[in-house]
Chain A
Amino acid sequence: MQEFSEAIKLLAEESISPAGKPYFTISLSSVRSVASQFSCSIKEAEITALKNSIIPERYERSLGTVGGMQGQILLLNSRAAVMGLGGLGGLAAELLARMGVGTLLLIDGDSFSESNLNRQVLATEENLGEKKAEVSRNRINKVNAAVDAIPFAQMATEDNIESLLDGCHVILDCLDNLRTRFLLQETCKKLSIPMIHGAIAQFYGQVSTILPGDQGLNAIYRSFEKGKDNGIEKELGNPATTPALVAAWQVQEAIKLLINKKELLRNRLLFIDTLEGSCETIQLEG
């Protein structure tokens, strides 16, 4: 371990931040070479660098937001699940990977179809028919090799959801139906895992952070009947923009939660109206 740290220190270079502050940095190619030399993962090499006050260059612009090197270490040691890899989840997973959330569970049983091309950033004309979970894994591997991206290309059900999500620090609800959203909330309560709810329809979007035991979805949706979906998006559809907006806000909540920021959208529903150009925050029953 000592030897590993020493090797990393030898590869560190002095640099100057855009604000004019000097710092020690390590490049992606140096991280790769030291990880391969010591047969360890890219993630382990990055964490060891950070523990020695050396900033992997790829995170340099994030540190001001995530609470410095300690915050980045917290993120690299975190495990998040993205439930649903459509308009919301496909982008959310990539943003989490770019921020360096160390383990990402990518859950969706669907494959890409043509009607996804208008809004799902992972869908391309070339990958129609491919599993969303696998496409997401491949994309994340290209974006940040420090992240363990684990695809699960099946739908979450009552039978598999608990074992699937156990051990996660946060779960992003990027689903497209109320039945599974409520199943997820129930599971999160049981496993004591916070979830970040996001939903979209046409010009509108909403976000809320639900901690285990909060009323959460029960406070948001009226008279939910199991198996009956009643969001207005079924009629109005979803464009390219609102999923991106809501996914970004969900990821920001997840990052805040993982680095222990207290200012969460808890017991509040943020409702975004991009047609009128307004945001409402509705207090919810705890």
Chain B
Amino acid sequence: MITIEAALFATLRTYNPNGESSEPFRVQLPEGSTIENLLKKLNIPPGESKQAFVNNRRQEWDYILQEGERVAIFPPIAGG
């Protein structure tokens, strides 16, 4: 197992298992887990618009997470 730190921002805060907040929280995942696996574990529906940054770098869903990494998930916003 690996432990990562996740944080959910803006409209996605509602999926924080510790209550609606953007405070980071720890998640345990099997080794080799991807961002997609993390989203599933957090019950974030596939239809929800989102993008993920791992250690401040945007990554795609098939990115394999490593022990201790920080994952921030934001909704895309594009209005003017």
Contact = CB atoms under 8 A, between A and B. Distances in A.
Interface of A: 84, 86-89, 174-178, 181, 198-206, 219-223, 229-234, 236, 238, 243, 271, 273, 275-276, 278, 280, 282-285
Contacts of A229: 78
The number of chain B residues touching the other chain, given as a range, is: 20 to 34
Interface of B: 9-11, 13, 21-22, 49-53, 56-58, 60, 72, 74-80
Contact of A233 (B21, B60, B78): B78
Contacts of B60: 222-223
Contacts of A284: 56-58
A174 B80 contact: yes
Nearest to B10: A204
Given A201-B78, A282-B53, 17 more contacts: A84-B80, A86-B80, A177-B80, A181-B78, A204-B11, A204-B77, A222-B50, A222-B51, A232-B77, A234-B79, A243-B80, A271-B10, A275-B10, A276-B13, A280-B72, A283-B56, A284-B58
A201 B77 contact: yes
Contacts of B53: 282
Q: Chain A binding site: helix, strand, loop or mixed by DSSP?
A: mixed
B9 A280 contact: yes
**Most B CB atoms within 10 A — which of A175, A203, A276?**
A276
Nearest to B20: A276
B56 A200 contact: no
B22 A201 contact: no
Contact of B58 (A177, A200, A222): A222
A238 B52 CA distance: 23
A285 B58 contact: yes
B56 A282 contact: yes
Contacts of B13: 276
